[in-house]
A and B are shown apart, each in its own frame.
Chain A
Amino acid sequence: MNFPMPDLMPVLPELFVLGMTCAILIFDVISRTRTPAYLLTLATLVGAAAITLVTALPQTRYTFGGQFVDDAMSDALKLMAYVATFAVVVYSRGYLVERGLWRGEFFVLALFALLGMMVMISANHLLILYIGLELLSLALYAMVALQRDAARATEAAMKYFVLGALASGLLLYGMSLLYGLTGTLELPALARVLETGVGDDLVLAFALVFVVAGLGFKLGVAPFHMWVPDIYQGAPSAVTLFISSAPKLAAFAFTMRLLVDGMQPAVADWQGMLAVMAVLSLAIGNLAAIMQSNIKRMLAYSTISHMGFLLLGVLAGNFAGYSGAMFYVIAYVLMSLGAFGLVVYLSRDQHEAENLEDFRGLNSRQPWLAALMAILMFSMAGIPPFVGFYAKLAVLQALVGAGFVWLAVVAVLFSLIGAYYYLRVVKLMYFDTPRADAPAIVPAGDARALLSANGLAVLLLGLMPQPLIALCANAMQMTLQ
């Protein structure tokens, strides 16, 4: 047997992250403090970003016999995933140290999860997509259970695992139906076969339903959203921060690769399903968020509505919609990082700042942190001049352009409902006086600086959104060629 050596250049970032993660795993066993592992993790992320930037080429490359793709979209999303993971590790340091969770496993699991995302982002084959998804999911299950003796976290991990396994099962079943129909697992080949038509449309519809249901679980959109609030609330805040940010990039890539690269010819079939899921998510996410008193749950429901908005971009089915959705997911990750980052930052001294009440009067205690949170909340509500507005604008523009004016009207009406609970956070911080027994805020220089940068990025990208818009447009143009 004579195997041809595959071109390893496109997978260089993945190989680097894998090697470094294994090195950190071994190194952490022999090292007495965690600081070296922490610094090595950050170095890994910076190194991966450098490699991705250096090896980026203007044309799309395939390797491993076409199962793995490296294009502009994958580069952009991977870079954003590094940034998100970097921010997560920096934000959670103080939180984890205080709770005795500052262990090597956290870094290793986070990096393995990142690796899983990278594989998902670059997958061009259903099995590779699935392997990436499982690598990500397994690492996340373990991270949720990191706080072993906390009943709530263990329960959340159990729930996450069971529902995640169910979703994987649905997905795999859908994939097997697709394979039976088309005889291929490779996404472009799948698209070609679907183009010519597959005799049995009923089976195709079934396959689509299963695949889209699995996708819905992973994205956390209604009606497959039940796990999201429980996991977000139960997991340690630092892990919630991670789950709510970077994996959404991978989930977006997953959606794009599967539905757009693989099943574009069946667009009329999945468009309707996505429309139902999107509207339901907007409704359930925004309405349920109003009733929450726990900010992690509130943000969880808000995530559901944001993912619904993201699906609106995808279902528009045109170039503007895809690049709008990509813009949306990047903007969302930035906002979510900041919002959960602040929750983590304020959770100190064995006190979990997870109730809305903990934000009461923040303006008179820490005006700058309150201003950052206000920026993030207004941005999530889609009020200009913050980046969240342009994300919504991009998606709405694509929707109106594709003729879905009624969907655009539904989307803005639910944004109005959404504005209420974001405003409530601002109200608590600015209009109310702090509780007398509010715990002190422990300053942490690195996290504070990064949080400031994060909040300012949301503002600056709102004043000057063109670079990010151009990036997304270029990435989509290249990917869709």
Chain B
Amino acid sequence: MTEGIGLLSLAIWVPIVAGVLILATGGDKNADGQRTLALIGAVLGFLVTIPLWTGFDYASAGMQFEELAPWIPGFNVHYRLGVDGISMLFVILNSLTTVLVVLAGWQVIRERVSQYMAAFLIQSGLLNGVFSALDGVLFYVFFEAMLIPLYLIIGMWGGPNRVYAAIKFFLYTLLGSLLMLVSILYLYFQSGGSFEILAWHRVGLSMTAQTLLFVAFFFAFAVKVPMWPVHTWLPDAHVEAPTGGSVVLAAITLKVGAYGFLRFILPIVPDASREYAWLIVALSLIAVVYIGLVALVQSDMKKLIAYSSIAHMGFVTLGFFLFNPLGIEGGLIQMISHGFISAAMFLCVGVMYDRVHSRQIADYGGVANTMPRFAAFFMLFAMANAGLPGTSGFVGEFMVILGAVQVNFWWAFLAATTLIFGAAYTLWMYKRVVFGAVANDHVAQMKDIDSREFVVLGLLALCVLGMGLYPLPFTEVMHASVDNLLAHVANSKLVH
């Protein structure tokens, strides 16, 4: 238990305070100062999360860096924070992504700069809160509050159909979370008046209660992941969002849903989880195969990457419901890897969009001729997206497929088709955009990436390669927590 302000509190509040400060600086006259302030806030926010990894105790399965303070004694709600091997990496991933997003929006965003930067910083703090909250109400507050900045980001800086996408995104995700709110209150009474999430893990529940809770939590998190068939908000939101918004959505927000599966559904309703695992597996496989095919026919690059995100997240949920260490760790690795790759892919599309103002594949061709350095980066990320060995994309998928073979060969077989579909839609898109003759004047006038873009893409390339070549540091962090979770899930907590 930490005295005073702990690291997790800093990870949450540094970006939020920086965001509020930026808002206070007023209009676009001070745009340069606001950008600098945003970068300082984002970098500081990232720096405070590094000790979370360096000081992490690999052997412990419990919560670390815990903080506890009374918040609303009237409801028995506490300000309770902590991370374990499952959540710690996401706090760091989120804080790193924020730095990249601030850099990515540096020149592109020229209107209402302060509101743009502030929205991303506040969003980042709230997301760190989601990953580290250990109190049900506190979790819910962060979980819901993060919709507000994202709603504004999509609606204010997005594409032509942004209003529709923003409202669809908000209402869709709100539907899921409202049912979760009732479940949280139900668990409060079942656990004898506690909102502590870890205490809920120990509450015995009847099968009916578990089933209903499973359904409610499933809606809340499946919409966020998103799983087929509740995925339809994602392509709209992605297409209309500005580049930074897409990056945060794909890299972090989707992970909140998957994280919820591990923190809430598996440990709180283990019996229902085992009972209905077939359902999740089926939906995941549909996402992998069917959405992979859907991605193949997209003519809009952002839509294609959005559908590929859904397919990749299908791997994550599939891994979680295999109930073996390879599956869960593979899913977690896939989440982090997808955070890097999807961020990089959306940034690459953003780089081209900034120059040509089109996302249509048909408007490009021969980009390699005018932007060779960019084409090299894009190549790496496209390969990673297709799951090429040596990149991070391969590690998670391979682990999940191995895990699936242990349970059911045909599941593994269907999951493995992603290596074909993923390669097909990604590389075909890459070929049409980058190779060939220069397609038109717009492409002929494209300038190669500048140093700022080089830094952003270079950082991500390092992450993708590093994780692909040497994934051990990532899996090491998770081992204890995942084993603990699996042991917990294996025990029935059914009461009659």
User: Which 4 pairs of residues, A with B, have the shortest CB-CB distance?
Assistant: A469-B74, A384-B141, A412-B178, A400-B185
- Residues of B with C-beta under 8 A to A424: 167
Q: Are B152 and A413 in contact (CB under 8 A)?
A: no
At the interface, yes or no: B61 with Cβ under 8 Å from chain A? no
Interface of chain B residues 152 through 209 with chain A (CB within 8 A)? 152, 155-156, 162-163, 166-167, 170-171, 174-175, 178-179, 181-182, 185-186, 188-189
At the interface, yes or no: B489 with Cβ under 8 Å from chain A? no
Stretch with Cβ within 8 A of B (4 or more), from A159-167, A266-274, A299-307, A401-409: A401-409
Q: Are B147 and A427 in contact (CB under 8 A)?
A: no
With contacts A384-B144, A412-B179 known, is A423 near B186, CB below 8 A? Answer: no
A409 and B186 CA atoms in complex are apart in Å by: 11
At the interface, yes or no: B137 with Cβ under 8 Å from chain A? yes
Tell me the dominant secondary structure on chain A's binding face: helix
- Residues of B with C-beta under 8 A to A426: 151-152
At the interface, yes or no: A86 with Cβ under 8 Å from chain B? no
A385 and B143 CA atoms in complex are apart in Å by: 10
- Residues of A with C-beta under 8 A to B178: 412-413, 415-416
Interface of chain B residues 70 through 127 with chain A (CB within 8 A)? 71-75, 112, 115
In-complex Cβ contact of A419 among B163, B171, B179, B186 (8 A): B171
Q: Are B155 and A396 in contact (CB under 8 A)?
A: no
Q: Please encode chain A, from 357 to 395, with 1 for each CB lying within 8 Å of some chain B CB and 0 for all others.
A: 000000110010000000000100001110001100110
Give min CB distance, B156 to chain A, whole Å.
Answer: 6
A409 and B178 CA atoms in complex are apart in Å by: 8
- Residues of B with C-beta under 8 A to A405: 182, 186
A400 and B179 CA atoms in complex are apart in Å by: 13
Q: Are A408 and B171 in contact (CB under 8 A)?
A: no
A276 and B156 CA atoms in complex are apart in Å by: 41
A positions within 8 Å CB-CB of B: 363-364, 367, 378, 383-385, 389-390, 393-394, 396-397, 400-401, 405, 408-409, 412-413, 415-416, 419-420, 423-424, 426-427, 430-431, 465-466, 469-470, 473
Q: Are A466 and B71 in contact (CB under 8 A)?
A: yes
Q: Are B170 and A419 in contact (CB under 8 A)?
A: yes
Q: Are B167 and A420 in contact (CB under 8 A)?
A: yes
Among A400, A405, A415, the most chain B Cβ lie within 10 Å of the Cβ of A400
With contacts A393-B137, A427-B155, A431-B156 known, is A384 near B145, CB below 8 A? Answer: yes
In-complex Cβ contact of A396 among B27, B152, B162, B185 (8 A): B185
At the interface, yes or no: B65 with Cβ under 8 Å from chain A? no
With contacts A427-B155, A431-B156 known, is A419 near B174, CB below 8 A? Answer: yes
Q: Are B166 and A384 in contact (CB under 8 A)?
A: no
- Residues of B with C-beta under 8 A to A383: 144-145, 147-148, 174
Tell me the dominant secondary structure on chain B's binding face: helix
At the interface, yes or no: B56 with Cβ under 8 Å from chain A? no
A426 and B152 CA atoms in complex are apart in Å by: 9
Q: Are A427 and B188 in contact (CB under 8 A)?
A: no
A312 and B71 CA atoms in complex are apart in Å by: 26
Q: Residue on A with the closest CB to B111?
A: A364
Q: Please encode chain B, from 350 to 386, with 1 for each CB lying within 8 Å of some chain A CB and 0 for all others.
A: 0000000000000000000000000000000000000
Q: Are A466 and B73 in contact (CB under 8 A)?
A: yes
Q: Are B185 and A469 in contact (CB under 8 A)?
A: no
In-complex Cβ contact of B75 among A384, A394, A427 (8 A): A394
Give min CB distance, B278 to chain A, whole Å.
Answer: 26
Q: Are B140 and A400 in contact (CB under 8 A)?
A: no
A8 and B74 CA atoms in complex are apart in Å by: 35
A416 and B220 CA atoms in complex are apart in Å by: 13
Q: Are A420 and B171 in contact (CB under 8 A)?
A: yes
- Residues of B with C-beta under 8 A to A419: 170-171, 174
Q: Are B170 and A423 in contact (CB under 8 A)?
A: yes
Q: Are B185 and A408 in contact (CB under 8 A)?
A: yes
Q: Are B74 and A470 in contact (CB under 8 A)?
A: yes
- Residues of B with C-beta under 8 A to A465: 72, 74
Q: Residue on B with the closest CB to A419?
A: B174
Q: Are B74 and A385 in contact (CB under 8 A)?
A: no
- Residues of A with C-beta under 8 A to B141: 384-385, 389
Q: Are A378 and B148 in contact (CB under 8 A)?
A: yes
- Residues of A with C-beta under 8 A to B73: 466, 470
Give min CB distance, A109 to chain B, whole Å.
Answer: 37
- Residues of A with C-beta under 8 A to B152: 426, 430
- Residues of A with C-beta under 8 A to B145: 383-385
A367 and B26 CA atoms in complex are apart in Å by: 9
Q: Please encode chain B, from 410 to 449, with 1 for each CB lying within 8 Å of some chain A CB and 0 for all others.
A: 0000000000000000000000000000000000000000
Q: Are B182 and A397 in contact (CB under 8 A)?
A: no
Q: Are B167 and A423 in contact (CB under 8 A)?
A: yes
A412 and B178 CA atoms in complex are apart in Å by: 6
Q: Residue on A with the closest CB to B176?
A: A416
Give min CB distance, B168 to chain A, whole Å.
Answer: 11
With contacts A469-B75, A470-B74 known, is A427 near B163, CB below 8 A? Answer: yes
A413 and B181 CA atoms in complex are apart in Å by: 11
A464 and B245 CA atoms in complex are apart in Å by: 30
Q: Are B182 and A396 in contact (CB under 8 A)?
A: yes
- Residues of B with C-beta under 8 A to A409: 179, 182
With contacts A393-B75, A393-B137, A419-B170 known, is A431 near B185, CB below 8 A? Answer: no
**18 sampled A-B residue pairs with Cβ under 8 A:** A367-B115, A383-B147, A384-B141, A389-B141, A393-B181, A393-B185, A396-B181, A401-B189, A405-B186, A412-B179, A412-B181, A416-B175, A419-B174, A420-B171, A427-B167, A469-B75, A470-B74, A473-B74
Give min CB distance, B151 to chain A, whole Å.
Answer: 7
A431 and B156 CA atoms in complex are apart in Å by: 5
- Residues of B with C-beta under 8 A to A408: 182, 185
- Residues of A with C-beta under 8 A to B181: 393, 396, 412
A267 and B35 CA atoms in complex are apart in Å by: 60
A454 and B313 CA atoms in complex are apart in Å by: 43
Q: Beyond the given A383-B147, A415-B178, A430-B152, could you list 11 further A-B residue pairs with CB under 8 A, ordered by the A residue number?
A: A383-B144, A384-B141, A393-B137, A396-B181, A397-B185, A401-B185, A412-B181, A420-B167, A420-B171, A430-B156, A431-B155
With contacts A384-B141, A389-B141, A401-B189 known, is A466 near B74, CB below 8 A? Answer: yes
Q: Please encode chain B, from 10 to 28, with 1 for each CB lying within 8 Å of some chain A CB and 0 for all others.
A: 0000000000000000010
Give min CB distance, A118 to chain B, whole Å.
Answer: 27
Q: Residue on B with the closest CB to A420?
A: B171
Give min CB distance, A17 to chain B, whole Å.
Answer: 31
- Residues of B with C-beta under 8 A to A401: 185, 189
- Residues of B with C-beta under 8 A to A397: 75, 185, 188
Q: Are B151 and A423 in contact (CB under 8 A)?
A: yes
Q: Are A416 and B174 in contact (CB under 8 A)?
A: yes
Among A384, A412, A416, A420, the most chain B Cβ lie within 10 Å of the Cβ of A384
- Residues of B with C-beta under 8 A to A413: 178
A400 and B148 CA atoms in complex are apart in Å by: 27
- Residues of B with C-beta under 8 A to A394: 75
Q: Residue on B with the closest CB to A406?
A: B182
Give min CB distance, B229 to chain A, whole Å.
Answer: 19
- Residues of A with C-beta under 8 A to B147: 383
In-complex Cβ contact of B144 among A364, A389, A420, A469 (8 A): A389
Q: Please encode chain B, from 225 to 253, with 1 for each CB lying within 8 Å of some chain A CB and 0 for all others.
A: 00000000000000000000000000000
A94 and B107 CA atoms in complex are apart in Å by: 43
Q: Are A400 and B144 in contact (CB under 8 A)?
A: no
Give min CB distance, A243 to chain B, whole Å.
Answer: 30
- Residues of B with C-beta under 8 A to A389: 141, 144
A393 and B72 CA atoms in complex are apart in Å by: 12
Give min CB distance, B474 to chain A, whole Å.
Answer: 32
With contacts A385-B141, A412-B179 known, is A427 near B72, CB below 8 A? Answer: no
Q: Are B182 and A412 in contact (CB under 8 A)?
A: yes
A390 and B112 CA atoms in complex are apart in Å by: 32
A366 and B468 CA atoms in complex are apart in Å by: 49
Q: Are A400 and B186 in contact (CB under 8 A)?
A: yes
Q: Are B72 and A466 in contact (CB under 8 A)?
A: yes
- Residues of A with C-beta under 8 A to B163: 427, 431
Give min CB distance, A58 to chain B, whole Å.
Answer: 19
